[in-house]
Structure 1
Amino acid sequence: MFLHTALPTASVSVSPDGLLYSGETVTLQCDISDYTDWTYYWFLNNIQITSQTRETITIILPSQAGQYQCQGKRTGKIVDVTVFCLINMYVSTDLPTASVRVSPHGLLYSGETVTLQCDISDYTDWTYRWYQNNQTLPNQTSKTIRYIIPIIKTGQTGLYRCEGMRTERPQRSQPSNDLSITLPKATLLVKPNPVYPGETVTLTCSVGSYSDWRYKRHKDRNDTVVSQSGSSNPGASYTINTISVSDQGQYWCEGHRVSRPTSSQPSTDITLTVLGQFFCSMSLFVCQSCRQGLCNKPKVTLSSDQKDVLTADSVTLTCTVESSGWRFYWYRHRQDSEPVAKTSGSSYTFSQVSVSDGGQYRCRAGRGDPVYYTQYSEPVHIQVTGESNTFNKIA
C-alpha cells in the first residue's frame, strides 16, 4: 500500500510591493511552507545565480530586472524533494523626471539676477538638490534658486541641473538635463601683432549684438584700464602710437551699455608682442642710432631669382621680412629717391628686361597709418647684357 503526499509549494514575495521604479533596491524572498532545512537556488533568465543560496536576495532595478526562478531542495530519508517558483521582475514605472527652466528668458548677461526653477510633474513633497558643473550647490534645497551671473572670461557661467528627493516612494526623481547658461562675449582684435618699437597698434573691441556699446580695454592680470570710451567717444577702436617695449603684455576688453544688457563677458586675452628689443651699447654711434629708432626697425633681405641676366629675360626680386601685413617699396640707384614700384606682395618682376633696366636695387616694407617702415635692404646689383650676364651682390 502506497501513500501519496503533495509536494510543498514555493512562492516568491517582493518588497517593496506595488509600483517599482528605476534605481530602487528590491528584495526577493523564496517562501516554502513546509519544513525548514531547505537549500535555495536562484535563476535569472534560466541561468543559475551561483552566488545566491539564501532564502532572500537583493537586486537593483533596472540593471538586474528579468525572469527570476526560486528552487528549494532538501534530502529526506526516503526521497529528494525539489520545488520551483517563477516570477517576472521588471520596472513597471519610470521615475518622474525633473526639468530646469530659467527666468528671464532670452539672452542673459553678466551682473543680472536670474531665477532657476526645478519642475517635477508628479507628487508635491519634493526636497530639491541643485548642481553646478556636477558639484552640489550647498544649502540649496528649494524649488527655485536665484543667483547673480558672474563676470568670467569663458563666456559660460556653468551647467545647471536639479533632482528631487522625498521620504515616500518614489524616493527620488530622474535628474534634469543640464542647462547651459552662455553669455554674449566681447572679441578683441589687435593689429598688427607682433609689432616693432615705434609702430602704431590698433585694438578693436566688439560685441556681436546691439550697437551702443562703450568699451574698456585692460592690460595684464592686474586689470589696469588702458582706455575707456565715454558717451562722447563710444568707438570700438583704440590706437597706441609709437609702441615701446613697455606696451608689451596681455590685453582684454569688455563692453558696457546703459540699458539691458548692461555689460558683456570679457574677451579672451591677447598677448601683444614687441619685437626687436635692442639696447644701447657703449658705442656712441650705436647709441645715437638707437635713439633715432634705427636699431629697433626690422631688417629686410633682398634676393633675385636670376644670377645671369640677358636682355628679354624675366627677373624677380623678393623682399623678405619677419611678420605679415606689409606693403613693399622698390628703389633703384638711390634709396632716398621715389620708389619705382609699390606692391602688396613681397615680389617684384621685370618682364623682358633691357640693358637700361640694369642697376642697383633696394627694397623696404611699410605698414600702418601713418606708415611704419623697415630698414632698407642691402643693395643688389643687376647687370643686363646681350652676350654674357653677371649678377653681383654689393655688400
Structure 2
Amino acid sequence: MELSQLPLLLLFLVLISNFQSGHTQDYPKPTLTVRPQSPVFTGDSVTLRCELDQSWDGWEFLWSKDSNTDSPEAETKTISRVKVSDGGEYRCRARRGGNYTDYSKPVAVTIHERPKPKVTIKPDHHVFRGETVTLRCDIYDGGVTSWRYNWYKDGSTSAFSERQEHTFSSVTESDSGKYSCYGTETEGSRSSHLSDEVTLTVSDFPKPTLTVRPQSPVFTGDSVTLRCELDKITGWEFLWSKDSNTESPEAETKTISRVKVSDGGEYRCRARRGGYNTYYSKPVAVTIHVPRADLSVSPQKWLTEGDPVTLICEINGSSTGWTFSWFTETFSSGSRNDYELLSDSSRGAGGKYTVSSADLNHTGVYVCSAERDKTAVYTPYSNTQPLWVTGVSPPVSLIISPSRTQHFTSVSLSLSCEDQSNSDGWTVRRYTDSGRLEDCSSFLRGSQTGSTCTIRSTSSSDTGVYWCQSESGENYHPVNITVHFGVILESPVHPVTEGNNLTLRCLYKYTTVSNLRADFYKDGSLIQNQTTEMIIPTVSKSHEGFYYCKHPDRGESPKSWISVRGSHSDSQISVLHILSSALAACPYLIVTVVLIYKCCRMRGKTPE
C-alpha cells in the first residue's frame, strides 16, 4: 500500500469505530422551554417544548422528571390543571434510529397552591350608622409580588373596587351585605381563588341593658355588681354615671364591694367606640338600706294566760339569709335599758319566735336583732314589742286610785300591789309609750312606799302599761293607763265578768259637772249618742273591744280596751261537776279498800 493512501484508511477506520459505538457528539442538543416561565398555581396549565434545529427531522422525543426513566412523548408536553406533585426538574433528549442526542439543560417547574384571599372588616362585622368601616383583602403566599384586587358584594359578578383596602367613611344600613374579594397578578396571568364571603351588618346605635345583682334589698357591707350589656359586640369602651354626674370610663362590669349608704343612687351606662356613643341605658336605682330589724306581734300583744302568740322579726321587709337573736328588755337604773338574750333564742332562728301557750312569765318587753349569713353584717336592736299576759286568777292585784284606766293630767295617782297573803316585796313598774322601762322610784314625781306607788302630778308622759313585779322577777296584772289633757273615758280597770253590768262615762276636768253628754263608740262605730253614761246591763264576750267617747265641743277621749272574762257560775259548775264525780266514785272506792284490807289480813295468818 502506498503511503499516500494511508490517511484515507485511518479516516475510514475512525468512522467505522464511531458508528459502532453510537457516538452523537455531532448531533444537536435540544433546548427545553416552559410556558409560563414563572411559578404556576394548581389548576393552571403548563406547556414544555423540547426544541431541535429545524433541519433535523425524524426524531423521537424522550422526557424525564427528577432523573426518572425516560418516557417517549411528543415534542410539546402540556400538563392541564397542574397539581403540586407535577412540579419538579424536567429534561428531554431526542432519538433517531439508534442514535441519541444529549439531554437538554434541566428546567425547574414550580407549582404553588392557588392562594385564597382573606377578608377582614374593621372595626367589627357589626357596626353602626355613621361609623368608618374598612374592608381589607389579604392574599398570602403564592410568590406573586403584585396583585390587582377585585371586590364583590352579595354575589355580584361586577367588581365595585380594585384596591386592597376599601373604606366606607360613613356607613349606612344600605352598606350591609356579604363581601368577597379576588386577586389577579398585575404583570402576569395568575389569579387567586375567590375568598369566603364576610357579612357586614350596619344598624342604628344600640341601647345597652343595665342589670344589677342582687336585685333584692342590698345592705351595707354587701357587694353589688352592675353590668352594662350589649349584644356580643366587641371594641366598646363603657361609660358610667351615677345620679346624672360626670361619666367615668370603666369596664363592662362594675362591682362595688362592701357598699356604703352613699353608694346608693340611680346608675346608667352607655358605650363608646371610635368617637361614637350609644344611647344611655334605662337607669337602675340601687338602694342601700342600713339593715333594720322590725319586730311585730301576732295576733296581739294583750293576752290571757294560755293564749298563743308569735313574735315576727323582719329585716327591711325580708327575712331570708339572716340568723336571728331574741332578747327581753331588763330594768336599768341608768339612762339606757339593757337586753338579756333569751335562753331558747334559737327557737326563733327563722324570724319567728312562737309561744304556743303564754303564761305570766312571758309578760315583758322584747327586741330582736339579726346577722347576715357569711357577710358579718349586723342589725342594731329592733323596735321594742311588749307582751302583756293577764292571769286567770293572779296572786296579786294592781289597785288604781282613782279606779279607772284613763286619768287627767296634773292630778295625783296611786297604784298599789295587793297580795292576798302578803303585800310586801312588790314593786310597781311601767313601760311608757316612749319605750322606757322603769320602776316607781324612777318615775318623774313618783315615789314608792311599801307596795304603793304614788305619782304626785300626772302628765301625758306617764301613759303606759303598769304592773306588779315580785322580788324574784315575776310579773303580774298589767294594766294600760292613759293620761290625757281633755276628755277621758271612765271605764273599769279589771276585766268585766260575763253577766255583770258595764257602765261607761265621759269625763271632763274643767267643768262643774264632770259627766259630759257625749256619743259613745265601740271599735270605731257609734253605739249610743248624747248621754251622760252608757250602761250595758248584761255583758257577754261579744262586748269586748275598744271604747271611747266624743263630745262635740270638748273633743274625744283616748281608746280603752274592755276585756270580758267568763262568769263565776261557769267555774262553780265546773267545781261542782268534779265534786259530784268524786262522790259518785266513793262507794266503789270504799268497797275496794275493804276488800284489799281483808285480803292482806288473810295472807298475814300463818298455820299453827
Same fold (TM over 0.5): no
Q: What's the TM-score once normalised by structure 2's chain length?
A: 0.24
Q: What's the TM-score once normalised by structure 1's chain length?
A: 0.35
Q: Which structure's relative contact order is higher, taking Cα pairs within 8 Å and 6+ residues apart?
A: 1
